[in-house]
Amino acid sequence: MAIQVPFHSESFDDLLDATFPFYLSCNGQMEIERIGRSLAKLLPGMPANASFDQFFEIKLPATVRSFSELAKIDGQVVVLAIRHCNSILRGQIFVTKQSAIFLVSLRSESAAELGKLGIGIGDYAGHDAAMELLFMKQAQSTQLNELQEMIAKLETTASEKQRLESIESALMHDLDVAADIIVRFNSAHRIIECRSVRESYWCNQIDPVGKLVHEIFPELDSVLESITGTSESTFEPVAFEFDTKSKGKLFQFDARVAKTLDSNFLLLARDVTQQKAMDQKLKFMALHDPLTDIGNRILFEEKATDLLNSESNFAILIIDVNDFKTINDNLGHHVGDEVLRTFASKMKLVDGNVTVAARLGGDEFGILLNGISDKETALDLARQLNKKLTEMIFFDGVFIEPRASIGIAISDSESSFDQLMRDADFAMYAAKNKETKSSIVACDKAIREKIKIQMETRLDLQSAIKKNQFINYYQPVVDLKTGKIASFEALVRWQHPTRGLLTPYHFVELAEENGMIADIGKLVLKMAFDDLNAIHAIKGREHVSFSVNVAASQIQDPNFIQIINQSLEESNCAVNKIILEITESALISDFDKTQKSLIALRQKGIRISLDDFGVGYSSLNYLRQLPFDIIKLDRSLITEICECEKQRKIVEAVIMLGRSLGLLMVGEGIETEKQKLTVKEMGFDYGQGYLFAKPVPFVEAMSLITADVLFSMAPQQVRLIPTYVPECRC
């Protein structure tokens, strides 16, 4: 057997590696020269020039030990045992003057063991090519035929006959190693010989010898047709696959059949049952998510690409579990996992339309709905799915009411996978956005545009923090008894270089999601403390307080107290005139941390206000467990109490409760005379809203304070507009 390529050219090494990833070569001193990438996984850390004997044992031919002996078996079947792990390598050896190269593949180890060693489908890429070489290079079978003929005709001494028979049995053994079933049949297709390495294969239960080969191997029919017409000199093997069943067990074989020189046929079959099971298992593992057993991102992309290639119309749904982090943090990861598993099981049930459901990562799922070309049908199916997903789950003693956000993109003739995913992602983010008011959104031009702006905003925010493009606006909070300004709420604004002055609506949520709110919060605090100092510097205005909004992530940041301390130190402002406003939604994410932080802040003398009360969970428990000083009733309720008697009664009860807990009540978003009079009449202490003043820049806030502006509390409000005379702040 001559190999016409130099052993150590790079391209040859690459070729070897790709075809026989378990190959190895050794030099004349029996030192290992190189090993294939997959074999390296079985022998990690093998040193350069390691001794062949230290790592391998030649099991077949069993007598061969030295390099000169290897040279004699050039082209033959070899079986090596790996000493460290008892694995078997099987294949052929090729020897040149300087090197012996073993073109082998791995023949043992269970799928689980291989998985542990990091060996997967990729390591079997060269399997087919290896089989080709191993099975049908004819060398052994031809030699064998010749030998058998010689033995039959032999009239020599018994010892010579014995010697030749032993060579024959060695050669048969070689073939046995290369194949699990060997069948010879004649030109009339009758089986002359049948050998199998395992007793449990069919051929030990029924004797195939003498039978027509296609009776035993029906799969051979078409193969025989193609071989029958071939000329004597053609020995190209034809591949086919067949199965056998024995005692209820299925065996799968890869087989080759070819004509031999004596015009008979030789069929060699290799049992690939285990390997196929392993391949299937590895393939499953490579394409599925281990937690939920549904597809993973790779499978999702594969199926979507297939649909795109077949020009089918389909919809992509991206589904995100809302507040998954909160579920994980508060209820534990085992509950989070159960939510994911439950979601996955429901994904498969979308009215039989699901082509594939996959977990794309974390708490994100994807569904491909084939045959969908219109938005309404996709939305309809998504609504059905959402209904199922949001059913209550009871697990480990807790009820969970999961929520999902679903984004939809529908393919068209121009679609690519990446663009569809981007669109579905955009739509999912829009569904998450509170102001969309729907948890299911199908992507359209407007959404694409909006999300594009959000993405640009996210990038701009980073540089805005560096360049400090933020300023505080201040909105007065009025004492409803006196009409005087009691405090100002600091409301951040972003001076965007191209888009002008932006309100928090455009960036606060985004900054929270991207972990940038802490940096913005620091700037806001610093400005607010400095401005408060400036107001307190004016004689007689020392009673004025400032409230600053803080996000949940700021409060829960272990460094938050330190940040407050540092800002206080730098500005040296009056601690008891500072109010921090925290929304209800911020309380639910990590109650313990929040409670700890709020208690520490309260101990410093800072007051805490519960903002936007009445729109979220409105849990009275929070009022009991957390050290609040003030409740700010949300703007939406202020409108409602003027129009709905029932709502008014509820709010009156809250006011009574607040009073009994010693809390002050603020009404937000007062826009009309009627609202002002209602909140005053109901017993609110303070009011805030456009009726009194919109949020204004600090200089204007300063002018309101210096002018001692007084808001009328009488039914007809007369507002005094002061003339602003800027004061020296030194």
Binding site for Mg ion (CB under 5 A): 549, 581, 611-612, 668
Contacts of ligand C2E in 635-654 (CB under 6 A): 635
Check residue 611 for interaction with ligand C2E (CB under 6 A). yes
Q: How far is the CB of 599 from ligand C2E (least distance, A)?
A: 20
Q: How far is the CB of 41 from ligand C2E (least distance, A)?
A: 51
168 binds, options Mg ion, ligand C2E, none, Cβ within 5 to 8 A by partner type: none
Per CB under 6 A, the segment of 97-105, 417-425, 547-555, 623-631 that binds ligand C2E is: 547-555
Q: How far is the CB of 109 from ligand C2E (least distance, A)?
A: 57
Q: How far is the CB of 554 from ligand C2E (least distance, A)?
A: 7
Closer to ligand C2E by CB, 327 or 508: give it.
508
Per CB under 6 A, the segment of 124-132, 357-365, 414-422, 548-556 that binds ligand C2E is: 548-556
Query: Could you give the CA distance from residue 297 to residue 287 in angstroms, rounded to a whole number?
Result: 8
Closer to ligand C2E by CB, 244 or 678: give it.
678
Contacts of ligand C2E in 432-471 (CB under 6 A): none
Closer to Mg ion by CB, 519 or 612: give it.
612
Which residue pairs, CB below 8 angstroms and at least 24 apart, start in 338-343?
338/393, 338/395, 338/396, 339/393, 339/400, 339/402, 340/291, 340/292, 341/291, 341/292, 342/393, 342/402, 343/292, 343/319, 343/389, 343/402, 343/404
Q: Which of 235, 234, 62 is nearest to 139 (CA)?
A: 235
Query: Could you give the CA distance from residue 301 to residue 417 in angstroms, rounded to a whole number?
Result: 7
Give burial (CB, 10 Å; 0-12/13-18/19+) of 581. Answer: buried
Check residue 551 for interaction with ligand C2E (CB under 6 A). yes
Contacts of ligand C2E in 394-413 (CB under 6 A): none
Both tokens of residue 150? 């010689």
Q: How far is the CB of 490 from ligand C2E (least distance, A)?
A: 6
Helix (H, G, I), strand (E, B), or coil: what is residue 726?
coil
Q: Can you tell me which of 28, 115, 483, 504 binds ligand C2E, judged by CB under 6 A?
A: 504
Between the alpha carbon of residue 162 and those of residues 165, 167, 323, the distances in Å are 5, 9, 81
Q: How far is the CB of 529 from Mg ion (least distance, A)?
A: 17
Query: Could you give the CA distance from residue 628 to residue 630 in angstroms, rounded to a whole number?
Result: 6
Helix (H, G, I), strand (E, B), or coil: what is residue 206?
coil
How many CB atoms are located within 10 Å of the residue 645 CB? 7
Closer to ligand C2E by CB, 590 or 668: give it.
668
Q: Which of 429, 423, 395, 420 is nearest to 320 (CA)?
A: 429
Give burial (CB, 10 Å; 0-12/13-18/19+) of 221. Answer: exposed
Closer to ligand C2E by CB, 535 or 670: give it.
670
How many CB atoms are located within 10 Å of the residue 665 CB? 22
Closer to Mg ion by CB, 180 or 668: give it.
668
Instruction: Look up residue 235 and give its amino acid.
Output: F
Judged by CB under 6 A, the number of residues near ligand C2E is: 25
Per CB under 6 A, the segment of 48-56, 186-194, 497-505, 560-568 that binds ligand C2E is: 497-505
Query: Could you give the CA distance from residue 587 to residue 680 in angstroms, rounded to a whole number?
Result: 29
Q: How far is the CB of 511 from ligand C2E (least distance, A)?
A: 8
Q: How far is the CB of 608 from ligand C2E (least distance, A)?
A: 14
Per CB under 6 A, the segment of 24-32, 173-181, 416-424, 667-675 that binds ligand C2E is: 667-675
Contacts of ligand C2E in 681-720 (CB under 6 A): 688-690, 695
C-beta of residue 240 within 8 angstroms of C-beta of residue 257: yes
Q: How far is the CB of 553 from ligand C2E (least distance, A)?
A: 9
519 binds, options Mg ion, ligand C2E, none, Cβ within 5 to 8 A by partner type: none
Check residue 508 for interaction with ligand C2E (CB under 6 A). yes
Q: How far is the CB of 671 from ligand C2E (least distance, A)?
A: 4
Give the helix, strand, coil percentages of the chain, each rounded to 5.
45, 25, 30
Q: How far is the CB of 549 from Mg ion (least distance, A)?
A: 4
C-beta of residue 331 within 8 angstroms of C-beta of residue 397: no
Q: What would the x/- binding string for ligand C2E be over residues 517 to 546, using CB under 6 A?
A: x---x--x----------------------
Check residue 581 for interaction with ligand C2E (CB under 6 A). yes
Query: Could you give the CA distance from residue 131 to residue 137 in angstroms, rounded to a whole number?
Result: 10
Q: How far is the CB of 668 from Mg ion (least distance, A)?
A: 5
Check residue 671 for interaction with ligand C2E (CB under 6 A). yes
278 binds, options ligand C2E, Mg ion, none, Cβ within 5 to 8 A by partner type: none
Provide the β-strand partners of residue 356. Answer: 368
Helix (H, G, I), strand (E, B), or coil: what is residue 135?
helix
Instruction: Tokens 């290992």: give the residue.
Output: 32
- Which of left, alpha, beta for 662 (phi over 0: left; psi -120 to 50: alpha)? left
Q: Can you tell me which of 130, 485, 491, 532 binds ligand C2E, judged by CB under 6 A?
A: 491
Check residue 492 for interaction with ligand C2E (CB under 6 A). yes
Q: Which spans of this chain sit near ligand C2E (rule: CB under 6 A)? A: 475, 491-492, 503-505, 508, 517, 521, 524, 549-551, 581, 611-612, 635, 668-671, 688-690, 695
